[in-house]
Amino acid sequence: MSPIRLTLPDGSVREVPEGTTSRQVAQSIGAGLARAALAARVDGQIRDLDRPLTQDARFAILTEKDPDALEVLRHSAAHILATAVRELFPTAGIGFGPPIEDGFYYDFEVERPFTPEDLEAIEKRMAEVTGKDYPFIREVVDRPEANRRFKDDPLKLERIADLGPDETITVYTDGPFVDLCRGPHLPSTGRLKHFKLLSAAGAYWRGDSRRQMLQRIYGTAWFRKEELEAYTHRLEEAKKRDHRKLGKELDLFLFHPFAPGAAFWTERGTSLYNTLNQFMRELQRDGYQEIRTPLLYNKGLWEISGHWGKYKENMFLVHNNETGEQDMSLKPMNCPSHHILYGLGKHSYKELPIRYSTYDVLHRNEVSGALSGLTRVRQFSQDDCHIYLMESQIPEEVRRLTEFILGYYRTFGLEATLKFATRPEQRIGDDGMWDRAEAALRAALEATGLPYELKPGDGAFYGPKIDFDVADSIGRKWQLGTIQLDYAAPERFDLHYVGEDNHEHRPVIIHRAVNGSFERFIAILIEHFAGAFPLWLSPEQVRVLPISDQQAEAAARVNETLRTAGIRSTLDAGSQTLNYRIRDGEIGKVPYMAIVGQREAEAGTVAIRVRGAGNKQEIIPVAEFTARLTAAIAARSLTP
RNA sequence: GCCACUGUAGCUCAGUGGUAGAGCACUCGAUUCGUAAUCGAGCGGUCGUCGGUUCAAUCCCGACCAGUGGCUCCA
């Protein structure tokens, strides 16, 4: 056998006989590395340790430290889960079992759904499977052999049938369990040590609601105990921050069965909503035209926009008494109404870009099972904007928008990452148009200097787009803003502008949202800040507390002074003890408590207690306190 | 929409085949207090809705409504 050359991560080259396994290479490098080895990276591809090496390659041993190793661990964990389920439920059919972010799942076809007790038993059995330390054995099989091995697993047979003719079919065995799988896997089941099953839920076979429902088990797996604990801690933290829980506790919004998917905003929630809206209005004071358009339309509009054909399921249709038919609908999007308004006038190139912004209420008929708190609702408002412009204006406009959006997020301490989605297979317009549109978007992206992820083929059928993902304070990602180029709508709505040449031309449209929707953005803010909003956003910015009735009047005057300065201040002069009222303020996450005792009443000062800072009080004149708050509010300071 | 689970006072939750409790909140009284719960009394629920089984249903069964976790979809 001829030797092959392996280039190691440190640049050194090692010659080994062809057919040597990665495990053997690891051993030859060092016993410690061999013990730590989980898999190998061969020319960038992750492989099982025991696969023989066949040609020259860049080579690295994968240990726990490698981020890609987690995927291998979790994929193997899924197999171990299936091994356990098959032992406890021998007739269970097996679907797919991939690694996912933070864990893994496996889908089973069983007679009855899994109960929490089942999960406990399965988890216990998984521990036995890892205890036995079965090696994961990879085999390449031909199609007839694969069909024979899985003759009792219809789901696997279906998968095999879908494999292309040149695809290598591999099966993996760990102890009693055999699975069709591309791999790679851990060397043996004993390498999985820290895992936990989390939940069971129904899931359609292949995500298709017309197919049978399988039972999915979710789990998580980590290399180190502390990581598993940190992860379960993170789940608990997320639960504590859940906007549905905090929304109730902080009295921000409520839901009622009579209006599923539509929030009732309390005074405090409305304050939050309006503060955000005010901020957006202020940012869009120049260069934008805020407009309001009807909420209810004849189907004629939806026929032009294409919604009647493609989006009807998601629209709330309204019965028209005159025609006796459901030929009207509440608007699910603002775009068509904006296009109508644009089309009603004649526009010169000198007016462009025309930026229509709106906060109108939208309705989308989401299926009942999809509704969830404020993040998934049927009634909401977007901070929507449609920009009508000439193609030549796209680069500059996109650059402005990107800066605008990123600056907006920064106000909340949110960092965004960008995604650039290009032409999909199904699209309108010629390649020249797409070339120009994508180049313009890309140039704008490059100009930000920020890294972005390329999503080829993920654009809308009418144009490419930039999406903005935001990570909150506990690392969860949310897709928020979007900038989409649209070449189709101007055609459909027959929109023009008069050019320098005195002829009519088609404008291009940019769809832009920053918040996504106020509802969802507020949910994210609640969770991001864990309900402790920065001063400028807080529904109640200050609570004034007299120490006893003797200072009630002085405290009322302080409260009046603050309110006159435009600060959202309240007075809590109840008959409860001071301790009680302070506790109440802390639980209510009020940024500042201003305490007025005899000394303060006489000196015209307040003792300030900052949220979360304990009793490290500062005593300052009321005027100074007012000035300080006013400045912090104007600056939209993040602290406190 | 589909699968599973859940629904008891404003909130968090206990409980039983013989028509219900706790803590907090609220109301009233006393307390006037210097930085995270003062004491006492009281008010408050046709046990999600409708139907069935039963001498008797909040409890068992069914349907519906809503919520939760997923699937799907998306802002």
Annotated catalytic sites of A, by residue?
Answer: 335, 364, 382, 384, 386, 465, 511
| A309 exposure class (CB count in 10 Å sphere: 0-12, 13-18, 19+) | exposed
Region A542-634: CATH code: 3.40.50.800
* Chain B bases closer than 7 angstroms to a protein Cβ: 1-5, 7, 11-12, 25, 30-38, 65-75
- The answer to whether A550 CB is within 7 Å of strand B is yes
Q: Is the minimum distance from the CB of A113 to strand B below 7 Å?
A: yes
- Closest nucleotide to residue A577 (Cα to C1')? B33
What mean pLDDT do residues A286-291 have? Answer: 96
How far does the CA of A583 sit from the C1' of B25, in Å?
14
- Does domain A253-295+331-528 sit in CATH 3.30.930.10? yes
Pairing relation of β-strands A289-290 and A177-180? unpaired
Q: What percent of chain A is helix, strand and coil (3-state, nearest 5)?
A: 40, 30, 35
Read off the pLDDT of each residue in A401-418 and give the average, rounded to a whole number: 92
CA A187 to C1' B56, whole Å? 64
Provide the mean pLDDT of chain A. 91
Condensed to tens digits (0 to 9), the pLDDT of residues A629-638 reads 999 999 999 9
| A216-253: pLDDT as tens digits | 999 999 999 999 988 988 888 888 899 999 999 999 99
A475 touches strand B (CB under 7 A): no
Q: pLDDT tier at A432 (50, 70, 90 boundaries)? A: confident
Q: What is the mean pLDDT of residues A169-188?
A: 90
**A133: pLDDT confidence band, cut at 50, 70 and 90?**
very high
Is any atom of strand B within 7 angstroms of residue A461's beta carbon? Answer: no
Q: What angle do CA A555, A558, A559 make, to 5 degrees?
A: 90
Q: For residue range A65-113, list pLDDT tens digits in order.
A: 888 899 999 999 999 999 999 999 988 889 999 999 889 999 999 888 8
Asked if the model's pLDDT at residue A214 lies above 80, the reply is yes
Both tokens of A78, joined, read 């899924």
- Note whether A459 and A424 are within 8 A (CB): yes
d(CA A110, CA A103): 22
Query: What is the distance between the alpha carbons of residues A47 and A25, in angstroms, rounded to a whole number?
Result: 13
- The pLDDT value recorded for residue A131 is 93
Nucleotide closest to A596 measured between CA and C1':
B34
pLDDT at A78: 94
The arithmetic mean of pLDDT across residues A605-629, rounded, is 94
Model pLDDT, residue A91: 87
Does residue A371 reach within 7 angstroms of strand B, measured from its CB?
Answer: yes
- The CATH classification number of A71-237 equals 3.30.980.10
Q: Which residue, chain included where needed, has tokens 């930000």?
A: A448
Residue A247 (CA) to nucleotide B11 (C1'), in angstroms, measures 12
CA A515 to C1' B3 (Å) is: 33
Residue A115: is its pLDDT beyond 90?
no
A255 CA → B56 C1’, Å: 37
Give the nucleotide nearest to A374 (CA→C1').
Answer: B75
- Give percent above pLDDT 70 in chain A: 100
What is the per-residue pLDDT for A499? 95
What is the tens place of the pLDDT at every residue in A575-590?
A: 899 999 999 999 999 9
What element of type H or E holds A379?
strand A379-381
> Nearest-5° angle of CA A316, CA A318, CA A322?
165
Q: A191: Cβ under 7 Å from strand B?
A: no
A142 pLDDT tier (thresholds 50, 70, 90): confident
Report pLDDT digits (tens) over A326-354.
999 999 999 999 999 999 999 999 999 99
Report the alpha-carbon angle A339-A340-A343, nearest 5: 85
Nucleotide nearest to A575 (CA to C1'): B32
Domains of chain A by residue range? 3-62, 71-237, 253-295+331-528, 542-634
Q: Would you say the C-beta of A17 is within 7 Å of strand B?
A: no
CB A458 within 8 A of CB A424: yes
Q: Which nucleotide is nearest to A257 (CA to C1')?
A: B66
Residue A139 to residues A48, A149, A183, A336, A581: CA-CA distances in angstroms? 11, 12, 11, 57, 70
pLDDT higher than 80, residue A448: no
Is A490 within 8 Å of A508 (Cβ atoms)? yes
Which tops the pLDDT comparison, A588 or A14?
A588
- Alpha-carbon distance of A53 to A45, in angstroms, equals 12
Closest CA to the C1' of B32: that residue is A548
Q: Quick check: A1 pLDDT over 70? A: no
Q: Decide if A3-62 and A71-237 have a common fold.
A: no
The pLDDT-based confidence of A208 (bands split at 50, 70, 90) is: confident
List strand B contacts in A 589-608 (CB < 7 A): 593, 595, 597-600, 607
Convert the pLDDT of each residue in A380-396 to its tens digit. 999 999 999 999 999 89
d(CA A467, CA A51): 41
| pLDDT (0 to 100) of residue A474 | 74
For residues A237 and A282, which has the higher predicted lDDT (pLDDT)?
A282
Distance A427 CA to B1 C1' (A): 29
Distance A225 CA to B23 C1' (A): 37
The string of DSSP letters for A413-448 reads T-EEEEEEE---SS--S-HHHHHHHHHHHHHHHHHH
What is the interface pTM, i.e. ipTM, of the complex? 0.92
Does domain A3-62 fall under CATH 3.40.30.10? My reply is: no
